[in-house]
Amino acid sequence: MTATPTPIPTAGQTVGPFFHFALTYDGDSELVPRGAPGSVRLHGTVTDGAGEPVPDALLELWQADESGAVVQRAGSLGRDGWTFTGFGRSATDAEGRYSFTTLVPGEAAPFFAIAVFARGLTHRLFTRAYLPGASDALLERLDPARRATLLAAADADGLVFDVRLQGDGETVFLDFGDE
């Protein structure tokens, strides 16, 4: 009889790159239909420490509705065209660009909560994209230069929010402990 070896812990695995075929679904980035009353486009680019686009990242978005209420409705993975669930996913393209069609969250929660999954990360990263002019206790605690990395800006297409994974201008990421 041969002895069974005792398993030993191994190093953690990094996230991805499998998002484009494993985690996307029809309507994933359209929290509301394009052109719906009150809709806005939240878009931007994910870049690495060298400023190069990250072509295989996935962003998840959670947000309050236009009244500021946290939505608690089923159906995020099966869009029906009218139920706003406050959740979406967008994979980046070859140039690192992502885009969501959504609603502007209400003043009670004037931000989009975002999780970033990308090649080389051992855990997802959490951040927020605040509406232009928004403020809260988290933003007020940050140095103004760091605070700027959490502020979306209005442009001709809606709101732009770029994510820099590291280096100069790195986006502020939130630590929720042992998530």
Model confidence band, residue 177 (pLDDT cutoffs 50, 70, 90): confident
Q: Residue 119 has what pLDDT?
A: 83
Asked whether residue 18 carries a pLDDT value surpassing 60, the answer given is no
Mean pLDDT of 25-47: 90
Q: Residue 16 has what pLDDT?
A: 53
Asked whether residue 150 carries a pLDDT value surpassing 80, the answer given is yes
Q: Residue 61 has what pLDDT?
A: 95
Q: Residue 6 has what pLDDT?
A: 76
* Token couple for 155: 């442009």
Q: Residue 17 has what pLDDT?
A: 54
Mean pLDDT of 121-141: 93
Q: Residue 93 has what pLDDT?
A: 94
Asked whether residue 179 carries a pLDDT value surpassing 70, the answer given is no
Mean pLDDT of 59-88: 81
| Summary mean pLDDT of the chain | 87
Q: Residue 78 has what pLDDT?
A: 65
The structure's pTM equals 0.85
Q: Which domains does the chain have, with CATH numbers?
A: 19-164 (2.60.130.10)
Task: Give the bridge partners for 64, in sequence order.
Answer: 70
Q: Which residue has the higher pLDDT, 51 or 74?
A: 51
In this structure, the strands spanning 39-47 and 158-160 are parallel
Asked whether residue 46 carries a pLDDT value surpassing 90, the answer given is yes
**% of the chain residues with pLDDT over 90:** 61
Q: Residue 178 has what pLDDT?
A: 62
